[in-house]
Amino acid sequence: LIDLTTAAASALTAVRVMENRDEHTALFVFLGPCSFIGNNFCRMCQAIAVNMVEHSSLVLLLSFVYRLHILQDTLSVRYTPPRTLIWLICALPLLLIVPLMVGNYIEQKPVTDEGRRRFH
């Protein structure tokens, strides 16, 4: 589900990043289908795509930790954590990423007319 969300958001945005050295900022030029809907939708898709990639990496890390835990317990008495604990461990990174996703969305601002003239 995470990878599907990441792929859908990435396909909608199709971003080209340009550097504005005068203002020390990065400009996101949205070339994908989201540009037909509007800038806010493009920024939301970009924020989702970036943060879901981070979340995917955390879930991958957790899966390796869990496998290591299982492999270490094969030699000794095996302890299997309850399902609710496993679900909480998997949900925790998503809950921690939500503030970053909202901050990423809020921080993105439209390009000024002067900035557009410089890059045309």
Closest CA to 4 of 42, 62, 55, 44: 55
Q: What is the pLDDT of residue 62?
A: 78
More confident residue, 83 or 119: 83
More confident residue, 77 or 4: 4
> What SS3 string covers the chain?
CHHHHHHHHHHHHCEEEEEECCCCEEEEEECCHHHHCCHHHHHHHHHHHHHHHHHHHHHHHHHHHHHHHHHHHCCCCCCCCCHHHHHHHHHHHHHHHHHHHHHHHHHCCCCCHHHHHHHC
Q: What is the pLDDT of residue 73?
A: 61
Is the predicted pLDDT of residue 12 greater than 80, yes or no?
Answer: yes
Q: What is the pLDDT of residue 78?
A: 62
N- to C-terminal Cα separation, the chain: 39
Over the stretch 26-55, which tens digit does the pLDDT of each residue have? 777 778 888 888 888 888 888 888 878 877
Q: What is the pLDDT of residue 120?
A: 60
Is the predicted pLDDT of residue 79 greater than 70, yes or no?
Answer: no
Which pTM does this prediction carry?
0.57
